[in-house]
Amino acid sequence: MSGGGTETPVGCEAAQGGGGGGKKKDSQGFTGSPAHLIIKDLGEIHSRLLDHRPVIQGETRYFVKEFEEKRGLREMRVLENLKNMIHETNEHTLPTCRATMQDSLNQVLQRLQAATDSVRRLQQREQERKKTQHFARKSWQTQPRNSEIPCSCIPRTDVSSCPGNRSCPPARGETTPPGCLGCLP
């Protein structure tokens, strides 16, 4: 029933004696009887109508070709879009971001420099204050202490009037030095 094989004679051909040996073969098979030609045509029609392998193979090739072309075009569009986006980023966005960042970093650097200078001045003042206090304490500690030296909180001539109980207030405009004889903590 497939069109690719050799046909066997059907009932009417066998009844007419067409299966015998007096007929010559040509390149297409047996010739002669009209029944044989009809059977041959039916085989071709059958193979064309019912054998779908060549059609399916052709459709498959066409589908694959179209798919590859469409996919290739889609990928080309995607790559072109990426290329345009990268170009735009390199040409416009990146320089803008770089300039903005440079300006911001310069401002931050100036603020940081100002803060560093301020902290340095504060540290120098603190060191000078500590150094002054240290020398003042040393100078007060090295002075001789006797009963005739008045209390430094209030200028007095009599030390006995200063009870040493930290109740003497300093005189106006004076600061209480470290190493007071008992009036300071």
Q: Which of 72, 99, 126 is the last residue of a domain?
A: 126
Burial of residue 160, with CB atoms counted within 10 A of its CB: 0-12 exposed, 13-18 middle, 19 or more buried: exposed
Q: How far apart are CA 57 and CA 4, in angstroms?
A: 17
Domain membership of residue 120 (yes or no) is: yes
Q: For the segment 100-110, what is each residue's pLDDT rounded down to a tens digit? A: 999 999 999 99
Domain membership of residue 152 (yes or no) is: no
Range of the domain at 37: 1-51
Q: For the segment 67-110, what is each residue's pLDDT rounded down to a tens digit? A: 888 888 888 899 999 999 999 999 999 999 999 999 999 999 99
Domain membership of residue 146 (yes or no) is: no
Residue 28 Cα to chain centre, angstroms? 73
Domain membership of residue 94 (yes or no) is: yes
Per residue in 103-117, is it b (16+ CB within 10 Å) or e — as a string?
A: eeeeeeeeeeeeeee
Co-location of 7 and 35 in the same domain: yes
Average pLDDT of 16-26? 48
Co-location of 105 and 60 in the same domain: yes
Co-location of 59 and 114 in the same domain: yes
Predicted local distance difference test score (pLDDT) of residue 103: 93
Domain membership of residue 83 (yes or no) is: yes
Predicted local distance difference test score (pLDDT) of residue 100: 94
Cα 130–132–138 angle (5° rounding)?
100
The number of domains in the chain is: 2
Q: For the segment 128-155, what is each residue's pLDDT rounded down to a tens digit? A: 999 998 888 877 777 655 544 455 554 4
Radius of gyration of the chain (CA): 60
pTM listed for this prediction: 0.33
